[in-house]
Amino acid sequence: MLQSTPANDAPAPLIGLVSGLAAGLVAAYAMTKFQALVGEIKPGLGGTGTPSTETAADRVSRLVTGKAVPRSRRPAAGEAVHYVVGSLVGGLYGLAAERQPKVTAGHGAVFGVTAATVLDETVVPLTGLGAPPTKAPLTSHPYSYASHLVFGVVTEGARKLFRRFFIRVKAGFDTLRFRRSPARHVALAQEPDDWRTIALAFLLGATAGPRTSAPITAVTWAARLGWIDLKGSKLAFLASPWAVAVTTPMALSELVIDKLPATPSRTQPGAIAARAASGALAGAALGAGRPVAGLAAVAGAVGAGAATLFGHALRVQLAKAAGKDWPVALTEDALSGGGALLVALAAAAPNGPRRENEATFASRRRYADGVGAVAGL
């Protein structure tokens, strides 16, 4: 059967869960920045005792290892707990939003208020991670609700963006399955979406932040496998066997080089330039043969630069919390490689039929279904 991009409003529990997990991480970051800003304006507004996240991290460490978290690493460990909880709560929210859209009321504001009531005002004091509501400073309550209001609104905004992306990933996967069906020779008239291409280019370029060769390796394989069409463009060479033969060893060797102590920092000018070039070339490939290719290249370079700086700061913080760098490095490997693959799949998704050819599209769809039905006899 001919595949098309699924409706955005169709319930998709798994996509909702994954989108919520990712959105929760983004919202936890936004919440941290908001609290830091408030702390600069009005120090001590949220209380002056040990943060509940640090207490939770210490309890988990004692339970798992039998040892307390070293005092010097408690702030970082507390931040890790903050992000884990934020992601899990976001995941539950994303799943609930698929089953009952009313939970997104107020663009996530109701969710944020609910999270503050359940977590800060109920769970934290009941588990002994913080003072009871009656003994906590009066200013800590509005501070908590304001922080979680930011968390809720950002979670909802990010969830919708991630959901659209993952829906396109699924559509791309379904499209690839269709191409292997008996009716794969039936073409689908498409209207290119330049803004979507630019957004995907930015995301693909961002995978160069952790690993320089991730986006260009993904593009060469996608072009070679026919996921993206580079025929007739100046970047057609990326679909050649030798392009794959060059980029694949580069990607594999980088997985090893990144773990070596003598490897230079990714924030050095040369390293940033290399990542920007990889992101730009990969982004241009997504828009190859179209006027948007130049803007896509810029988007890929910007995504690479932003992810390089942000990712480096995050890796240092997480490595400090874990006490080791290699677990964070392996996580980066998975995120960069997996992220590049997902973007490539999203790029393979159909943009939908041209409006002026709706009758032709319907006819082709009926023909494709008929061919599939005959082939199944």
Q: In a structure prediction context, what are the per-residue pLDDT tens digits for the chain, which is 377 residues long?
A: 344 444 566 778 999 999 999 999 999 999 999 998 988 888 777 666 788 898 998 899 899 988 888 888 888 888 889 999 999 999 999 999 999 999 999 999 999 999 999 998 899 999 988 888 888 788 888 999 999 999 999 999 999 999 999 999 998 888 886 655 444 444 444 556 789 999 999 999 999 999 999 999 999 999 999 889 898 899 999 999 999 999 999 999 999 999 888 888 899 999 999 999 999 999 999 999 899 999 999 999 999 999 999 999 888 877 877 778 888 899 999 999 999 999 999 998 877 544 444 444 445 455 445 444 444 44
Question: Is 331 found in the same domain as 280?
Answer: yes
Question: Is 105 found in the same domain as 164?
Answer: yes
Question: Is 276 found in the same domain as 237?
Answer: yes
Q: Which of 237, 212, 217, 239 is nearest to 228 (CA)?
A: 239
Q: How remote is the C-alpha of 295 from its chain's centroid?
A: 21
User: How many domains does the chain divide into?
Assistant: 2
* Planar angle of CA 97, 100, 104, nearest 5 degrees: 50
**What is the Cα–Cα distance from 303 to 296, expressed in whole angstroms?**
10
Question: Is 327 found in the same domain as 279?
Answer: yes
Q: How many alpha carbons lie under 13 Å from residue 366 in its C-beta half-sphere?
A: 5
Question: Is 198 found in the same domain as 165?
Answer: no
Q: Which amino acid is at 10?
A: A
Could you list the residue range(s) of the whole structural domain that residue 297 is in?
191-349
Question: Is 334 found in the same domain as 218?
Answer: yes
Question: Is 208 found in the same domain as 345?
Answer: yes
Which pLDDT belongs to residue 354?
A: 43
Task: Answer yes or no: is 256 within a domain.
Answer: yes
Which pLDDT belongs to residue 11?
A: 77
Task: Answer yes or no: is 135 within a domain.
Answer: yes
**What is the Cα–Cα distance from 239 to 227, expressed in whole angstroms?**
10
Which pLDDT belongs to residue 316?
A: 86
Question: Is 289 found in the same domain as 208?
Answer: yes
Question: Is 337 found in the same domain as 196?
Answer: yes
Question: Is 108 found in the same domain as 30?
Answer: yes
Quick one: CA torsion of 238, 241, 242, 244, rounded to 10 degrees? 70
pTM, 2 dp: 0.79
Structure tokens at 227: 């996921």
Task: Answer yes or no: is 159 within a domain.
Answer: yes
Task: Answer yes or no: is 374 within a domain.
Answer: no
Task: Answer yes or no: is 176 within a domain.
Answer: no
Question: Is 66 found in the same domain as 26?
Answer: yes
Which pLDDT belongs to residue 47?
A: 66
Question: Is 226 found in the same domain as 107?
Answer: no
Which pLDDT belongs to residue 332?
A: 92
